[in-house]
Structure 1
Amino acid sequence: MKDDKKKLSELGDLLAERMRKITNNFRLGFGSFVDKKLMPFIDPRIEKQLSPCPEPCAEPYGYKHQMTLTTNTEKFRAEVEKAEISGNLDAPEGGFDAIVQSLACNKTIGWRERARKMLVFSTDAGFHIAGDGRLAGVVDPNDGQCHLDRQGYYTETLTQDYPSIARIHQVIKDFKANIIFAVTQKNFDLYKQLSGALPDVSSSVGVLANDSRNIVELIEKEYLKIAEKIIMVDNANASDGLRISYRSPCLTGAMQDTNVCEGIRVGDEVKFEVTLEATHCVDKRDFVLRIGPSGLDEALIVNVHVLCDCDCEQTSKIVKNAAECNGGDMVCGVCRCKPGFVGRKCECNRPGMSTAALNEKCKRTNESAICEGRGVCNCGRCECNPRSNPEEQISGEFCECDNYNCPRHDREICSKHGQCNCGQCICLPQWTGRACECPISQDSCRASNGKICNGKGECICGRCRCFDTPDGKRYSGPKCETCPTCPTKCIEYKPCVMCQAWKTGPYNETKCADCPFKAIIVDELPQINDTTSCQFVDPADDCTFYYLYYYDEAKDNATVWVRERKDCPPPVPVLAIVLAVIAGIVILGILLLVLWKLLTFLHDRAEYARFNNERLMAKWDTNENPIYKQATTTFKNPVYAGKNK
């Protein structure tokens, strides 16, 4: 994904900005993966093992942890840009190794215990699964443990097989993590099937653009999809004789048998009614149950002790006239009321009615929860629970209303332009809309000419929506005052401006008199709204002139202001240029002569030095001429004794 690296490096700041609108505690980390450095997953040639890409790149590796979780988005950008690109031979990649190590190496990655753990798995290829490692002779199963060295590399990539889907499932469940698979369109179906095999609400799949330009929107969308769904899970086991059932009204208000609530937003409160039942007795009587939402570390710890043989109903164990039961008897922890009294503590004097009948009076419908799960039933009347925030209140006969679950705009309830009443916004007189986000007044759409949206659009919710005219003109801007596609009248008015202001241009006096306007000559152009500025060069003197015009479409006339002074280029100093060229030629000639003289001097000195050196190295006497020979030659006669008689 070399082409996606630049986009990913720009992700940090933008993703942090988006996510901080959803959660106030957001951290970002980074890791990368390729594949096992073994045949047949990589090319066996030595040069390809060192650089498997068409262009120079890094050696293949299984997984590398690049950056610990941090709030420093600049560091994220630097680490992504610094990350080395590599490649493998076959199409699938070793992404499962990366998932296991990213979750199992808790301290190295920097996961916090009570944080929502979110992995964004971005790829344009498939994945290897358990058993594929046998192709390279790797038979040891993946143990799901952390194996990262000090440089962040996965050390068991050559000795352990790829993780199985069951192993991925178990790791995600143990570490309560969520995964967003950001994949290309061709791999969407494959990862959708993988997501279906993982724990509920733990994963989501989104389509990644070819250049990853939509990754921030994809992460935000898929994160909200996961975060808006709550699934209650527990560790109860039917073989232990325990069974847990859940009921919740979620956000609909109707109680139903479910452990899943969807469409949850920030600030919403969902209550679950949990029933624990001992179906049969087993040897183990004490249990520790963990009940909590899937994907989060938050959990309710319940210590359970199962009583199979109860002796609390014996007469000696019954508490007569218990104070907790308002004069009734306490039997096995439950009040047994005197005739005419009902309720959990016998607090209601309602002869002829049962506690169940009183509870039914606290239900809005037969399927609803008692007081909609947001209050307690006291003698047939609901008493709504207080909120931790004193400004938030629950009200209504059945506690069905509140003042905090209303439509929001810019994260504000009823845009702060109204009051929340039982799920609906009651807007102030000057505001309207579902969340009171739209002003009734159209002053915010009024242009400087007094027209709504400049007459080129309509005012919707305090903002202009500009029209597209049939002739192809498209207006834009806050008040539809801009038309980039509209032709201007600068060229049309140019000849008239030239002839009226300076008696130049293509128009003669007759045509100039027929111009549809009379130009206003000014020293400086005025600052007037809704005018169009123009500038051209007069070929007569190569000077630039400026003018403004305002065209009134209703009256079909124009007003033109022309600046009297033109902007002319300074005259060319011909004499100075000629003299400068002559001076340059003379100086260049002198420099060449000096250079020639210098080279000649250096050459003569070298020749003289060489001559002296040869003279000093001569082996003959300086008084003899080595090439001189005598004029006579003497020979000796060997038979002549040379004796005189």
Structure 2
Amino acid sequence: MNKNSIYFIAFVLLSTIASIRSQSSTEKISSVPNQCVSKTKCGPCIQTPNCAWCMQPDFGERPRCFQPELTPTNPCPEEFVIDPRNEMIMIKEAALSRGGQLLSGGGMASGGTYEEQSSGQSSMSGSSSASGGSSASGGSSGSAGGSVVQISPQMVNLRMRVNEKHTMMVNYAQAEDYPVDLYYLMDLSKSMEDDKEKLSHLGDLLSDTMRNITSNFRLGFGSFVDKVLMPYVSTVPKKLQHPCDGCEAPYGYKNHMKLDMDTRQFAENVKNAHVSGNLDAPEGGFDAIMQAVVCEREIGWRERARHLLVFSTDAGFHYAGDGKLGGVITPNDGACHMERNMYTHSSIQDYPSISQINLKVKQHSINIIFAITAQQHEVYKKLSEHIEGSSSAVLSDDSSNVVDLVREEYKKIRSSVEMKDSASGSVKVTYFSKCLGNERKQTNKCDGLSVGDVVTFETEIVVTSCPENEKDRMQTFQIYPVAVGEALTVNLEMLCSCGCENSGPTFELNSPKCSGDGTLSCGICECNDGFFGGKCECSKKDLDSKFGIDNLKCRANATSLECSGQGNCVCGQCHCTPRPNPDEKISGKFCECDNFSCDRRNGLLCSGPDHGVCECKTCKCLQGWTGDACDCSTSVDTCMAPNGKECSGNGKCVCGQCECSSEKGVRYTGKYCEKCPTCPDKCDDLKSCVECQLYGKGPLKDANECAKNCTLFTPIPLETINYEEERDEHICTRYDEDECRYQFIYSETVEKNGTITTNVRAQKTPDCPPKVFLLGIVLGVIAAIVLVGLAMLLLWKLLTTIHDRREFARFEKERMMAKWDTGENPIYKQATSTFKNPTYAGK
């Protein structure tokens, strides 16, 4: 442990001593637990919600960090209390406007387009002045005289504590006849040739359509192909000049027409733009989007206008990392690189990433409309989900529906407002709004808006944590509608430190109140090197060495922890660490005791104050209770069996329950240890009386015998038997002389006079097996055998008859075929022979 660590521990120790002693002070703080008392410096104290710091120098040993709401009598004079509150100062609040008419929801204007209001020259420590506030991306936070105002207020200064929310209303209204800049960015690869021709004829119609929406409309045109590198574009010299029939040389991105109101020039530029060609399917659209967004001067984006970028293609896109295929490894810097309307760094820098595109679109307040053919629409639809303020729509194969597409998409954009903010990770902004309805809900987006509709967003701002760097505690961020060049600028000062830590009446270097060896800061001493203690009264000579005598005084023995690990050793004495809950105390010479580490039952310490109390980590039980957690009753009433013996004499009562014993190999069970494998079964003793009284059966079925021998109980007949073991009931199942099954339940209770009463509940109707007619079964079996035999004989007779008839028919057929023709018989010879004389001459 180094010297500074020792000093810090000593400082914390002496501060906590005040917390311990204050618990026994006559002026007690409320017993409600709070996290203020554990804070020993002003900065951490005011970073805790609802806590205040007392900087009074002579405040004694009470906790300086306290919760005013829980302190009945404020122990600190009001002039010494540091309890900063959230504060908002309005710097600029111009009224919302609709053309030359003011709308409700903004500042109260007396005339004209708006009237700028501010809070005067209210000072705010460390905050920005009204004139020095940051502006929204793409435009200033306020409005110049006579310009349109769509969000109000425009600038505020906030001073906020950690984890204490501040609610602020932000109003938005869409202005009428708001200027629109539309830049048409088109893929001019060979496959888009027919689309280009159609677009050149639709320029006037597109302009007329947009002028029906706003009279202040400008149109521009740009095109792209891909990086002029392999494998994107063929680098064969001939192909570099004419990559395809009727194609011009490939290029990355070209700005054909700056934003202008001349629609004829737009049609002429589209018509004169020649298509080109490339090798792979994806195009270099991301390069073109980046340049069209960031090159404000070259494109002609106006500061106060709705910016629309229509991106038209029938192919996919290259993104960051694809440039390595062509040997381009330099990341895209997101800057403008345009000369003579051509992108100069196409072959120098990689494609931009989706996140870079999203960042630049937000910074320059641009709505991208992806007009994509049906084959690629799903890809760009997913892409639009990652780019703020963008949307996608299906473009026809020849772009003939582009006018309708732009009109519909702009209508969607204009009828919706989405609030975003640029707050850092230590600031959280949550949005609530009723939109145009009556129900307040958590949302940052409202749809279905028309010109003149005022939407109010209730913003809850919370500083979640204090940045370690003090410079980061002064922040400026914007709350803005997506793709609208206006914003509310918030100059935020985080209240993380106290002014008395550096100056003021309670700040003094080498103060006598700190023994001249420390600085008085916010009422407490910050000791110089080599000194420590509540008043810097100790020097390094008083520090305990690792094996020093003073150090040993803080240990119960040589092997135990210093102050039992629950305190710090100062000058040979243990100072126990205070607990956040004032009811929990650590005590003892070596901080070895506490009143909160005892055993618990059902979450209660020592089973509750009516059972016992916790003293030095051990439960001290009250009379009638025992056990580690005082959860066992010493009474044996719950263990008394019906025979009047504790646990039937077969066990002992422990914590109100019987623990049965095992004697001579016999193990007893049951609530009162009344059961064992060889114990007589009382069910057999009660069986005869139950049978004769309810069913008129059994050995005592004679009425006189039954009445004479069954006098101890009368069974209660029940349709259904419900067995409840916890009520010490026993269920019996038996069979009568007719093999009928029945059940009964018996229980025994001990009366006040010591007699035992037996209660029996029995099944009203026994379950008897159905009667079997044996003679009928035997005759039926015989008859079935005879019938089966006759059926088999008849079947055999039928089969033999069929077989005989088939054999006879086959015999008759063979006999008929045996009558051969003599001329056909190969061994037949006539009875006479004829011979010819070869020498006979006919005479």
Shorter-normalised TM-score: what interval?
Answer: 0.3 to 0.5
Relative contact order (C-alpha < 8 Å, sep 6+): which is higher? 2
Normalising by structure 1, we get a TM-score of 0.46
Pick the structure with greater CA Rg: 2
Normalising by structure 2, we get a TM-score of 0.35
